[in-house]
């Protein structure tokens, strides 16, 4: 009797442990980043002919595991990191959080002296600015980026590494391509009542840029019109994307890269639209931390991100890099408009201060 | 060892459990604290044991002052060497009989051989030698009580205290154990304090009885004294006197008390020569003091009545007799040697004047006996 | 026997200090209270300080942050948030949900309890397990499972209905859905309380009614139900409070429907950029006030009528023959089991093993669309392993420390004359009236203000688990302690043992089963903990429940499902151990009764 009593829960725990032990190395689907690079790691790290790291740095980095805090969309970030690890052999542990939570987490951990991140990737200028004020960053300028336009910021505290697209997408099971909206203005049409999904107006990042875009480029009262359609308001972009893929909303604001990855890897029934008024893009920043314990791996990661290889990966995902010598982004086999086509709107750094009043407009429209 | 309790007081907030108690228990004497629940008897016992801390007073056991409120002395219970048998016995179910009894000796870190010898000795005393290795939870009530007793005795306590030792046992067992307890107590010459609400138990076990009411000792004396002369009607009633009637009384010219039962013309004569002051007097007659007969004998204290209920109780018969004026008498008559009456029978009930008591309803408020000994009280024989 | 009755009264009040020699007596009195004061200090840090800090935060402009323990300056501004449409709507929704869920839980729980304890329905032993089973499923997991099952477009149930050609859609993202899921998952609380009340009822009371001419239905109506009223009302109000303060279910099922409750509003305020922690504190006070009122009402109702029908002796209560309703009753129980455990678990399993996260038809599953890969991948991922280890460590330490603390509080309350006993009990049961999410906020700010480096370690999570589970642990230990007669320990003292020695030799061994089951109860509660830990973890101190929530927040529902499946397995293993050890309790209980006084004959 006693034996049986121990056996039953024991078996359950053993089952769990053995599942953990038998460690699978399977992947979740066909890779979205399929292009491979020529990597030479014999004397430092050289990828596609470009030196990414010198010998000493690279040898040390190879022994380390990098810790990255990122608010970049999870599936995209994971695809990126897979490619990074495949190219460099350096493992990465990812902590993915929405920008607001990331900011709170980093500031809390920094204040308690417990920050475990080596590198941080996030949007929102005021977030990274706050980080500077709290001494989170250790300045590092990736060689060759000093001459790029608006890339190295605050003397190298952090750098602008990519521009993420915010547009809208639709669920192909619920919306036929010919019915799909083709412009931001279209989105406010009566026929989408109850079928729209958007993000919380105060959650930062993509929403801040969208708010600014609405304020400068679209007609007045846009948000009021959208609010009248009673959209579902999600607290996070990840939730929203899953809801769109599962058909709980028919149309949602989302990113080209997000849709690209979800469709390619998981066969999600989605499509994205390049609106007539243009794509909204917002900055994503990358920086190394003062608390970093894996300094060499962090350096390699930074350099990689700004290398031709690293930047072209962003294009492959469906977002805009900051280097001029990489191809225009493609998503779902289609090329996105080039930066100078007039169809790509980027939120100016200087407008960061206007975030608060834009948010108020949103709040008034949605009554929350 | 002697126990001296002086000016003991125990209060909880507004409630007073013990009110200025003064009691002395002689060496090898057996004293019973008798009273209704809430009278303070268990609290007194627990104060002696050290399980309660009095608010005032002094307690001395032998030559040691174990408690003194003024001097700030309060010896913890585990240092007082007082044996205590709880009403629930509190025999530990997770140990054997031997382990239960050996507990205190193990605490004293005595050598194993000595422990074994003393434990078996005391188990023999209580008649449980064969049960030494039995798990304590497998015993009957009587056996558990003996284990609890043995457990305390093996410690060679200065004083042994027992809380309602017999109340949880069946009648037959109770009778037997009553005798056994008394025998052991006398044999060991142990100063013993019992607490009980059962007057029969008290009479059987005590050298002296302290009757308690409301946190005070209201009467103190040997069993016969208490039985023969309770000082109030409520005490009499507690001790089993069931014929208690409101009355008015006066001392006659012959110096003896005559009482008139309230609401009737009945006059009752008594040989009592003292009368407590005050208006609230009660007439008290024991059930067994009445004599029943078919014919009137003439004489004092005789009344006519009808038998209403009869109850056969083995050695005695109990009658409820209704008198002409409506009052009801409770009467015991021995089965052998007296006539048996049936329901409806017309009879005469008589009681001798010396068996009539006129008592105040209650002791006066604040009445408190100082029961410290002036000299050693004589020991009583075993009452079977 | 009555003699024993006046003693317990005495235990609750300490002796009045006499006049004269005051200073010495006072010092002695204080020295006696040292253990109680130590415990009081511990409880103060666990419960009182957090609440004070929440109160302070509600009236300040800033909150303690790592590296900066200040709270800014005093302000009334935060109260303005109480009048926002979100707050009022949130309050209204919370109340509706509380009310609705408690009605469902009462009906379901009471019916099950009745069927299980008083009728002749078949499979009653299994019905008992059914009544308790949902306790194994944390609220977050249950909500996730139901969203997988019944989200309007992609839920398994809806896909199945579409496959079957039925034009019916179940939308779990609705007020009705929220109430349904909460009612379902909190029904076990009602079940447990009502079941124990019905089955321990003194048969004499009902038989007296029957003997005097009452038919079964009438007896039931006039005697049984009124006697069960305290259990019904007590548990109903408990469910009301739990539903009102619930966070995970409201977040998962309410958010897509635009339904906001006070807990989700609080969370959103804390999670916005910049965090509006002070406003969140203001709303937190509102929620706590509501909960306090409800809990006090519950205590008052439960304590008003003291029917001690549990004598533990005498005949067992009568069984009511259901005749034609026998199998329908069991069917009802089986349907409940399906809805509360079987279907949700199946949905999680499907979501965890489906090859493609996007299903259009159930037939896809049979097309080789199931794989264990995801579960294996999740189980070997470093974040899962870390979280699992963290969960287990936190749970074990919290359970052991919590049990010890509760033992001390309960002992002081019921076994000594300390004046602080009542206070210790009040504080120990206070967290019942404090929403877990609010307690979590308070604990965060407490440990950021105190100069000890506790934030960012597992210790702060242990503290949170201990605080939240304080009432349950205290009640569990106390019921065990009260069953034990104080004479057993006192006799050891009379035989020469120091009080501490007596506790170790006598009380602890005799309470062994009660202590162990308390440890296991706290272990289970700590494993399920989410709401209080939401603000307390850092990157490498995540626990399993937080990991599931993170994945859900990131939109990775299938990963969340996979982790949930493993999570439930671990909890079930712990719970089964608790059950098995608990059944030994019944054997020991009869031994205890035999050893206590009772009518024993030769």
The ranges assigned to domains in chain C are: 85-349, 371-590
Interface of A with C in 129-148 (CB under 8 A): none
CATH number of C371-590: 1.10.3720.10
Q: Which residue has the higher pLDDT, C349 or C81?
A: C349
CB contact under 8 A, C493 and B140: no
Residue C583, φ and ψ in degrees, nearest 5: -75, -20
Q: Does B76 touch chain C (CB under 8 A)?
A: yes
CB contact under 8 A, C553 and A117: no
**CATH fold of C85-349, please?**
MetI-like fold (1.10.3720)
| Cα separation, B290 vs B349, whole angstroms | 6
Q: Collapse the DSSP code of B1 into the 3-class scheme (helix H, G, I; strand E, B; otherwise coil) and give the result.
A: coil
| Cα separation, A280 vs A198, whole angstroms | 15
Q: Does B154 touch chain C (CB under 8 A)?
A: no
Q: Tell me if domain C85-349 and domain C371-590 are identical in fold.
A: yes
Of C13, C498, C592, the CB nearest to B93: C592
| Cα separation, B191 vs C499, whole angstroms | 25
Residue B323: exposure state from Cβ atoms within 10 A (0-12, 13-18, ≥19): middle
- Helix residue ranges per DSSP H, C59-138: 85-118, 124-132
Please give the structure tokens belonging to residue B103. Answer: 């507990």
CB contact under 8 A, C272 and A100: yes
Rounded (10°) angle between helices C277-304 and C436-449: 120
For chains B and C, count residue pairs whose Cβ atoms are closer than 8 Å.
150
DSSP codes, B314-352: SSEEEEEEEETTS-EEEEEEESTTS----TT-EEEEEE-
Half-sphere exposure of C448 (CA within 13 A, CB side): 29
Q: What is the pLDDT of residues B199-218, one digit of tens each?
A: 888 988 889 999 999 889 99
Of A230, A232, A236, the CB nearest to C553: A236
384 residues of chain B, pLDDT tens digit each: 899 999 999 998 888 889 889 999 999 999 999 999 888 899 999 999 998 889 999 999 999 999 998 888 899 888 899 999 988 888 898 889 999 999 989 888 899 999 999 999 999 988 898 999 988 888 888 888 889 999 999 988 989 999 988 887 888 888 888 888 888 888 888 999 999 998 888 988 889 999 999 889 999 999 999 998 899 999 999 988 899 988 888 888 888 888 888 878 778 888 888 888 877 889 899 999 999 888 888 888 888 899 999 999 888 899 999 988 888 899 999 888 888 888 998 999 999 988 899 899 888 877 788 877 655 444 333 332
Of C7, C491, C496, the CB nearest to B90: C491
| Cα separation, C250 vs C258, whole angstroms | 10
CA B340 to chain centre: 33
Radius of gyration of chain A (CA): 22
The ranges assigned to domains in chain B are: 3-231+364-383, 241-360
Of C10, C18, C485, the CB nearest to B12: C10
In the beta sheet, which residues pair with residue A120? A69, A287
Residue C8: per-residue pLDDT? 39
Number of H helices, E strands in chain C: 29, 0
CB contact under 8 A, B86 and C20: no
Of C21, C594, C597, the CB nearest to B168: C597
DSSP state of A49: T
Q: What is the pLDDT of residues C225-281, one digit of tens each?
A: 888 887 888 888 889 988 998 999 999 998 888 898 999 988 888 877 667 888 888
pLDDT of C13 > 60? The answer is no
Distance of CA B303 to CAs B244, B351, C51, C412, Å? 16, 9, 79, 63
CATH number of B241-360: 2.40.50.140
* CATH architecture observed for domain B3-231+364-383: 3-Layer(aba) Sandwich (3.40)
In the beta sheet, which residues pair with residue B244? B284
Give the residue from C498, C584, C592, C590 showing the smallest Cα distance to B94: C592
Please indicate whether chains C and B are in contact, defined as at least 3 beta carbon pairs under 8 Å: yes
Question: Is residue C481 within 8 Å of residue C522, measured between CB atoms?
Answer: no
**Å between C490 CA and nearest CA of chain B:** 8
Interface of C with B in 131-150 (CB under 8 A): none
Q: Is the Cα torsion angle A349, A350, A352, A354 positive or negative in sign?
A: negative
Q: Does C375 touch chain A (CB under 8 A)?
A: yes
Question: Is residue B258 within 8 Å of residue B301, measured between CB atoms?
Answer: no
Residues of A in contact with C554 (CB under 8 A): 74, 96, 236, 238-239
Q: Does B75 touch chain C (CB under 8 A)?
A: no
CB contact under 8 A, A234 and C552: no
């Amino acid at each position: 009797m006693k034996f049986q009593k121990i056996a039953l829960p024991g078996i359950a725990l053993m089952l769990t442990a053995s599942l953990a032990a038998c460690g699978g190395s399977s992947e979740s689907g066909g890779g979205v980043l399929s292009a491979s690079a020529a990597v030479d790691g014999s004397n430092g790290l050289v990828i596609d002919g470009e030196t990414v790291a010198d010998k000493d740095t690279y040898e040390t980095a190879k022994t380390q595991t990098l810790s990255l805090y990122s608010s970049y969309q999870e599936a995209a970030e994971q695809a990126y990191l897979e490619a990074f690890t495949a190219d460099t052999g350096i493992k990465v542990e990812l902590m993915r959080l929405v920008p607001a939570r990331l900011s709170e987490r980093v500031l809390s951990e920094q204040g308690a002296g417990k920050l475990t991140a080596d590198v941080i990737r996030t949007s929102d200028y005021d977030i990274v600015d706050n980080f500077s004020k709290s001494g989170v960053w250790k300045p590092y300028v990736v060689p060759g980026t000093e001459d790029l336009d608006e890339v190295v910021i605050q003397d190298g505290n952090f750098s602008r590494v990519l521009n993420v697209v915010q547009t809208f997408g639709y669920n192909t099971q619920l919306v036929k391509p010919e019915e799909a909206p083709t412009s931001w203005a279209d989105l406010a049409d009566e026929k989408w009542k109850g079928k729209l999904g958007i993000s919380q107006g105060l959650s930062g990042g993509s929403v801040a840029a969208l708010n600014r875009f609405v304020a400068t480029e679209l007609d007045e009262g846009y948000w009021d019109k959208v609010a009248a359609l009673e959209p579902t308001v999600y607290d996070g972009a990840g939730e929203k994307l899953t809801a769109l893929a599962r058909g709980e909303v028919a149309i949602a604001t989302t990113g080209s890269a997000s849709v690209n990855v979800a469709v390619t890897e998981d066969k999600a029934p989605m499509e994205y639209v390049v609106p007539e008024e243009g794509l909204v893009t917002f900055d994503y920043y990358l920086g190394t931390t003062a608390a970093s314990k894996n300094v060499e791996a962090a350096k390699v990661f930074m350099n990689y991100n700004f290398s031709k290889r690293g930047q072209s990966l962003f294009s492959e995902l469906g977002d805009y890099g900051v280097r001029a010598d990489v191809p225009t982004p493609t998503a779902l086999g289609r090329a996105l408009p080039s930066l100078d086509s007039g169809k790509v709107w980027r939120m100016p750094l200087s407008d960061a201060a206007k975030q608060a009043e834009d948010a108020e407009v949103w709040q008034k429209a949605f009554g929350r | 060892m002697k126990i001296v309790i002086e000016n003991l007081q125990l209060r909880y907030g507004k409630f007073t459990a013990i009110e200025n108690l003064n009691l002395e228990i002689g060496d090898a004497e057996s004293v019973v604290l008798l009273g209704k629940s809430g009278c303070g008897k268990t609290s007194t016992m627990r104060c002696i044991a050290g399980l309660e801390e009095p608010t005032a007073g002094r307690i001395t056991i032998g030559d040691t002052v174990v408690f003194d409120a003024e001097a700030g002395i309060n010896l913890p219970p585990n240092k007082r060497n007082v044996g205590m048998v709880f009403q629930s016995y509190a025999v530990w179910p997770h140990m054997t009989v031997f382990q239960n009894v050996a507990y205190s000796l193990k605490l004293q870190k005595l050598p194993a051989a000595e422990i074994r010898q003393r434990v078996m000795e005391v188990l023999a005393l209580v008649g449980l030698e064969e049960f030494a290795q039995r798990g304590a939870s497998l015993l009957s009530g009587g056996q558990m009580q003996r284990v609890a007793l043995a457990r305390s005795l093996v410690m060679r306590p200065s004083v042994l205290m027992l809380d309602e030792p017999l109340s949880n046992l069946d009648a037959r067992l109770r009778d037997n154990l009553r005798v056994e307890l008394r025998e052991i107590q006398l044999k060991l010459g142990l100063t013993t304090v019992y607490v009980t609400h059962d007057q029969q138990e008290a009479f059987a076990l005590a050298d002296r009885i302290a009757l308690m009411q409301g946190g005070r000792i209201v009467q103190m004396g040997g069993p016969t004294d208490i039985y023969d002369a309770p000082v109030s009607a409520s005490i009499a009633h507690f001790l089993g006197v069931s014929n208690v009637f409101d009355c008015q009384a006066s001392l006659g010219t012959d110096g003896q008390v005559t009482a008139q039962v309230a609401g009737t013309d009945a006059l009752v004569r008594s040989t009592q020569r003292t009368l407590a002051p005050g208006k609230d007097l009660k007439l008290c007659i024991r059930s067994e003091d009445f004599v029943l007969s078919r014919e009137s004998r003439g004489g004092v204290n005789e009344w006519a009545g009808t038998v209403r209920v009869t109850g056969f109780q083995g050695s005695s018969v109990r009658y409820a007799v209704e008198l002409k004026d409506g009052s009801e008498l409770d009467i015991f008559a021995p089965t052998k040697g007296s006539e048996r009456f049936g329901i409806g029978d017309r009879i005469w009930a008589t009681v001798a004047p010396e068996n009539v008591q006129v008592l105040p309803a209650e002791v006066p408020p604040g009445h408190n006996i100082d029961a410290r000994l002036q000299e050693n009280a004589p020991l009583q024989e075993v009452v079977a | 026997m009555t003699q024993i009755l006046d003693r317990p009264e005495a235990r609750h009040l300490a002796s009045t200090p006499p006049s004269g020699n005051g200073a010495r007596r006072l010092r002695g009195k204080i020295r006696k209270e040292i253990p109680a004061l130590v415990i009081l200090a511990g409880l103060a840090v666990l419960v009182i300080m957090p609440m004070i800090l929440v109160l302070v935060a509600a009236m300040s402009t800033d909150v303690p942050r790592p590296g900066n323990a200040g709270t800014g300056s005093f302000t009334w501004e935060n109260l303005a948030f109480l009048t926002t449409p979100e707050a009022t709507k949130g309050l209204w929704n919370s109340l509706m949900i509380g009310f609705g869920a408690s009605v469902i839980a009462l009906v379901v729980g009471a019916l099950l309890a009745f069927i299980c304890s008083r009728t002749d329905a078949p499979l009653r032993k299994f019905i008992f397990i059914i009544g308790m089973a949902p306790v194994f499923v944390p609220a977050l997991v249950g909500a996730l499972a139901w969203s997988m099952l019944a989200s309007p477009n992609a839920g398994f149930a809806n896909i199945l209905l579409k496959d079957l050609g039925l034009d019916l859609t179940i939308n779990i993202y609705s007020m009705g859905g929220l109430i349904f899921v909460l009612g379902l998952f909190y029904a076990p609380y009602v079940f447990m309380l009502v079941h124990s009340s019905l089955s321990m009822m003194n048969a004499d009371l009902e038989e007296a009614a029957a003997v005097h001419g009452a038919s079964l239905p009438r007896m039931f109506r006039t005697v049984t139900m009124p006697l069960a009223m305290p259990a019904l009302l007590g548990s109903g109000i408990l469910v009301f409070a739990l539903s009102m303060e619930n966070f995970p279910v409201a977040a998962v099922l309410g958010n897509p429907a635009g339904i906001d409750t006070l807990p989700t509003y609080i969370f959103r305020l804390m999670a916005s950029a910049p965090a509006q922690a002070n406003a969140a504190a203001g709303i937190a006070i509102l929620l706590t006030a509501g909960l306090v009122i409800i809990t006090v009402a519950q205590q008052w109702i439960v304590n008003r009528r003291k029917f001690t029908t549990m004598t533990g002796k005498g005949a067992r209560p009568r069984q009511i023959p259901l005749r034609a309703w026998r199998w329908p009753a069991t069917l009802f129980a089986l349907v409940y089991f399906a809805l509360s455990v079987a279907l949700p678990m199946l949905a999680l399993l499907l979501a965890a093993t489906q090859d493609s996260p996007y299903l259009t038809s159930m037939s896809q599953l049979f097309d080789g669309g199931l794989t264990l890969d995801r579960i294996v991948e999740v189980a070997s991922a470093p974040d899962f392993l870390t979280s699992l280890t963290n969960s287990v460590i936190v749970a074990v330490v919290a359970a052991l420390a919590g049990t010890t603390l509760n033992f001390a509080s309960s002992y002081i309350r019921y076994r000594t004359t300390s004046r602080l006993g009542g206070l210790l009990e009040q504080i120990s049961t206070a967290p019942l009236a404090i929403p877990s999410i609010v307690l979590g906020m308070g604990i965060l700010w407490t440990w950021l203000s105190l100069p000890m480096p506790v934030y960012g370690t597992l210790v702060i999570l242990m503290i949170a688990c201990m605080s939240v589970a304080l009432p349950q642990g205290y009640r569990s230990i106390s019921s065990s302690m009260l069953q034990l007669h104080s004479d057993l320990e006192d006799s050891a003292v009379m035989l020469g043992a120091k009080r501490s020695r007596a506790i170790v030799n006598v009380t602890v061994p005799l309470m062994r089963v009660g202590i162990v089951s308390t440890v296991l109860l706290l272990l289970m509660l700590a494993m399920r903990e989410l709401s209080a830990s939401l603000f307390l973890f850092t990157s490498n101190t995540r626990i399993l429940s937080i990991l599931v929530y993170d994945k859900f927040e990131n939109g990775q529902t299938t990963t969340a499902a996979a982790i949930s499946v493993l999570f439930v397995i671990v909890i079930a293993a712990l719970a089964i151990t608790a059950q098995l050890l608990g059944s030994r309790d019944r054997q020991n209980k009869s031994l205890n009764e035999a050893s206590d006084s009772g009518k024993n004959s030769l």
